[in-house]
Each structure stands twice: as structure tokens, then as C-alpha cells.
Structure 1
Amino acid sequence: MVQKKLFLILIMLTLASLACSINFGNSITSDIKTGPRVSEQITIPQHDNKSEVADITLAFAAGELTISEGETDALVEGTATYNVMDLAPEITSIGSVTKISTGNLDINGIPNFQDKIENTWDLTLSDLPMSLTIKAGAYVGDYELGGLSLKNLTITDGAADVELNFAQPNKIPMQSFRYETGASSVTISNLANANAGTIIFQGGAGSFELDFSGELQNDINAFIETGLCSLTISVPKNQKVEILLEGGLSNISTRGNWEISNNTYSLNGDGPTISITIEMGAGNLVLVSY
């Protein structure tokens, strides 16, 4: 686990992707003052019209973010723990639209990290219909989003270490799932359970693992675009799959009984089809059927 002190250093390097406002002054050095450890309750109540699709945005700067599905009477429920007062979460709600964001942290110059900075959110989501957007900077993310009712899912982050799982099928068809990341390590498991017709993944340098196991209810069209990275795509061996490779791939390896024709790799199977288009600048691509 990366120390939280490192998160705030990384966040300077990925400022463009941050979800909160961090302002740098002109002085050479600046001390970031830590204080007592505070645990604050976060609760977003259900709307009066429970059939209305909620629009939830989590704007998280740096630290550790954990999200799971659970039995809760609220749309979102959990705790935020921090020891810098300017990192206290801020909540804004207008109708069905809610945003939970890390507070504004002003940095006058290059920060001098004397103490360990803590910023941790641990949130539980209800299974009521919602569109979920996560905007984060340099952080560690642990997401269990199976069993929810996500209409849309959008994740954008900077330097991240993320594990995302759909242990159970999404309860409604997901219109789209989009993930954009920078120099990161991202593992997404049981993508078939996302119940998404369209999946878009864009990554920079890093290590990415996308596993398409789960209960596939409809065809999936996935588009993957990466820079210099290590990319692993895993699919069930009895699933109908077609993967089209584009770009300047340097190394491609396969595990399983793939049929190869020019730049197309396919598996024969029954049921809905997983169609994946991959565009890589360079790097290592591993295709796994199991």
C-alpha cells in the first residue's frame, strides 16, 4: 500500500486530472499542516421518487477511496477520515444531482511534507438506479460495484492503483462504462457482469488487466486505447469473442485456443458476442482464454 504522503506528491504531477481545487502560490516552500484525525459521516438520502435515476459524482483528490454495494436506506452512506481540515468533504445537491468532493487545499509554493497526510473515504452505495461518476487524482481505489443499478459509469483518474470488481450482475442494462486513466495500475474483473453495451477504456503508461468473465446478457462492444503499457485481456474460453488489433503493437502473446487471421483474434462460442477493438501505441499485450 502506497503511503498517503506519496499520494500528495503524485498529485502535483497529475494536477490536470485532479477533482478538487489545489492552488499553488509563488513562494518556494510551504508547510501543509496536519491536525487531529477526523472521521466524518457522509449520507446522501434517497429521493422521494425512488424510480428517478440519481446522478452521483465523487470528486476525490488523493488518498484511499473504497466503494461497495450494501444494504443502506441512503443513496450513499459512509465515512471520510482525514487529518488536514482543507480536505474535509463538501456535498452539494440540486434535485437528483449530487456531488461529493474533497475540499479546497491551498498550497503556496512547493509543499513541505513533514507529517503523514491521511485522506480516506469508505462509501456504500444503494441499489437504486443511478449514474455514477468518479473523478480522482493520485490514489488507491478499491471498488466493488456488483449488484447495483448503474445506468452509466464514468471513471477518470490520474496516477492510480485501482481494483474494480463486478461480483454480481448490474441490475439494469448499463448504457455505457467509460474509464480514462493516466500512468496507473488498473485491474477490472467480471466485466460481463457490468451489463454494459459499450465499454471504453483509455490508459496511458502502466499496467492494465481487463477480465470479461461473468454473466453476459447482451453483446458487448469494447474500445481500448493505451500508450506504452502492459495490457492483459481475459475472456472465458466458451464465449464468442472477436478482438481487432490496431496500432504499433510490439509484443503479442496468447494463452488458449485463439483463431488468428491477420489482426483479428477470435474464439468460437455460444450466446452474446464480446467485440473488442484495441489500439496500443507500444507495449505488451496478452490475450487469455480460460
Structure 2
Amino acid sequence: MKRTIFAALAALAIAALACSPVTIDVPRLDTGPTETITINEPLPDRSEADVEISMGAGKLTLGAGAEGLAEGTIQYNVPEWESSISNEGGKLTLTQNADGAGGIPEGEVINDWDLKLGAVPMNLTVNAGAYEGDLELGGLPLRNLTLSGGASSTTVSFDSVNPEEMETLVCRAGASTLTLTGLADANFAEMEFEGGAGTFTLDFSGELQRDAAVNIRAGVSTLTIVIPADTATTVTVEGGLNNVDTGGDWSVSGGAYEISGAGPTLTIHVDMGVGTLTLVSK
């Protein structure tokens, strides 16, 4: 991965220190030769798996297609960032070493995770820091999904229907640019989204399988919600936001923004402070 994210983190750290009377020596981390960890984890001896991916700064590519529970590679060139793998009792954990978490790497930094997951029903958790993410989760049998990221640039997509009924989809994002597409195909009952200062797009394209409820909390951010024109939808808004931009065929009734349609209904509640909210129907 290029040095852009790490440079941004360093700039933030320096800016913070400039406002402080305390002098702090930020440790530097040396880079070395690129190492590769090969992942080839078998399916569990149970009908459900828990998968947890925890990484710091880097690049994460995640998708379906593993023959077992998980396969892929982790490439890194910061020795302190060597990752560990644990697969016991139906729980797979991939974790980046935290020994160098407080240091800033020097030179060209590589921390690339390229992973595929298998066809067993699973509860998936992804925790990441300042990272660049491309998560194509379409077709994965997800029963629960939790995504947490810091200063990141990430795309999460569902290009086909989740064969499992997902109970909850939880997404927490910091100062980031985040796009989620094909959310109707995630097949969730409830979705919780929490965003800090960032630019967020929640695209509910796909085929809504059942009634679904979405709760959104966002700070000083730019939020765009995209709804298919034929999906029955109600959006209510509260908080300090006093302006909502709309595109497409929305009707306003009692402070609620609505789209008429047959089939399952999408109910969205937005609690947003200062920022920009755009509702798009197409």
C-alpha cells in the first residue's frame, strides 16, 4: 500500500502535538523485506462460524469464493505488524500485531490483506484503523455483520443476495469516505450506521427480501441515501439538520419522506447534526 494514509496519520499527530505544551517522541518503525502469510483455513466442525478480522493501517480486499472457511494472503514489510491466526471452536480470528501500534513507519509501507471467505453461515466482524478497503460481500451467507473503521476510504458492496437472513448489520465509520452499495441484497432485518466527520453513501439497491429498519446517526458529514424507485420507503429526520435535498419521486407527509411501492418496506430514521443529507430515488 502507498504511503498516503500513513502520511495523513503523521500529519494529524504532528498537528495535535503542535497544540500541546507536552513534547512527545513518536516512535519510528523501520520497514524491511516483504513477508507473506498464506491463509488456508478449513471449514469448522459446526454449522456456523464466527470470523473476526482486525487490522490497523493498510489495504483490505475481502470477498467470497474460498473452498474452506478462509483463504488468501497477508503481505507486510513492517516486522512489528506481523499478524496472528487463531481457528478454534468455530471462531477464526485474524489479528495484526499491536506491538507497533503507536509508531509511524518510515519508507514505503506494505500491509495488504487479500482474503476470501467460504460458504458456511457466519457472523463476520471487521475492525480496521486507517485503511483502504474493498469488500465485496455478495453471496456470502452472513447472519450478522459488524464493520468498524477509522480514517479510511472503503467500498462495501453486495452484488448478489445474501442466502442467509441477516439479523443485524452494524457499521461504524470515523473520518472517512465510505460507500455501501447493494444493501437490499444484504438481506438484513435491522441496520445500525454511525458516522463521524466524513462522506457516506448508503445505496439500498438490490432486491429487498423483507421489511427492514435502518437507524442512522451522523455528525458533521455529507450523507447520501439512494433508494430504488419501486421500493416502498419511509425516511424520518431529526437533529440539527434543517435542509434535506431530494432527487427523484419523493413525497413529504408530516415531516416524513416517502416512496410508494409494492413488496417489503424500508424504514429509515436519520439523526444528524450539522451536515448535508441527500435523498435519491432512482
Deviation at 1:7, TM superposition (A): 3.1
State whether residues 190 and 214 of structure 2, in contact with CA within 8 Å, keep that contact through their aligned partners in structure 1. yes
**Deviation of 1:8 (Å):** 6.9
Query: Matched residues in 1 for 2:168 and 2:49: separation?
Result: 16
The alpha carbon displacement at 1:6 in A equals 2.7
Pairing 1:273-288 to 2, within 5 Å after superposition: 273-288=265-280
Provide Cα deviations, 1:65-95, integer angstroms capped at 9, x if missing partner: 000111x221111000110112111012220
Deviation of residue 215 (structure 1)?
Answer: 1.2
Secondary structure of 1:7 counterpart: helix
State the TM-score, normalized to the length of structure 2: 0.91
Which residue of structure 1 aligns with residue 232 of structure 2?
240
In the alignment, which residue of structure 1 is the partner of 2:55? 60
Is 1:87 the equivalent of 2:81?
Answer: yes
Matches within 5 A, 1:94-105: 94-105=88-99
User: What whole-Å deviation, never above 9, does each CA across 1:127-156 have from its counterpart, x for those lacking one?
Assistant: 211100001111011000000100100011
What residue in structure 2 maps to residue 17 of structure 1?
none
Q: Which deviations, in whole Å up to 9, do the C-alpha atoms of 1:240-269 show, x marking residues without a partner?
A: 100011111143110111110232000110
Structure 1 vs Structure 2: percent identity of aligned residues?
38
Q: Which has the higher strand share?
A: 1
Aligned counterparts of 1:133 and 1:107: Cα–Cα separation in 2: 20
Once the two structures are TM-superposed, the CA of residue 13 in structure 1 deviates from its matched residue by 5.9
Give unmatched runs, 5+ long, in structure 1.
Answer: 15-25
Q: Is the 8 A contact 1:153 1:178 kept in 2?
A: yes
Deviation at 1:3, TM superposition (A): 3.0
Whole-angstrom distance in 2 between the partners of 1:209 and 1:105? 34
Match of 1:131 among 111, 117, 123: 123
Pair 1:37-2:34 in alignment: yes
Distance 2:269 2:211 in 1: 14
Q: How far is 1:120 from its partner?
A: 0.5
Give the secondary structure class of the aligned counterpart of 1:106: coil
1:210-221 pair list within 5 angstroms: 210-221=202-213
Q: Shift in Å at residue 27 of structure 1?
A: 6.7
Q: Secondary structure at the match of 1:253?
A: strand
Instruction: Tell me which residue corresponds to 1:115.
Output: 107
Shift of 1:223: 0.4
CA contact (8 A) 2:45 2:90 kept: no
1:12–1:56 CA distance, 2 compared to 1 (3 A): farther
SS in 1 for 2:178: strand
Q: Is the 1:8–1:138 contact (alpha carbons within 8 Å) kept by the matching residues of 2?
A: no
CA contact (8 A) 2:195 2:218 kept: yes
Note if contact 1:250-1:283 (Cα within 8 Å) is conserved in structure 2.
no
Structure 1, 265-274 or 248-257: larger mean CA deviation: 248-257
The CA deviation at 1:11 is 8.2
**Which one of the candidate residues 174, 182, 185 is aligned to 1:190?**
182
User: Alignment partner for residue 156 of structure 1, among 148, 159, 178?
Assistant: 148
* Match 1:179 to one of 154, 171, 184: 171
RMSD: 2.0
Whether the 8 Å CA contact 2:5–2:131 is kept in 1: the answer is no
1:270 corresponds in structure 2 to 262
In 2, Cα distance between equivalents of 1:258 and 1:9? 40
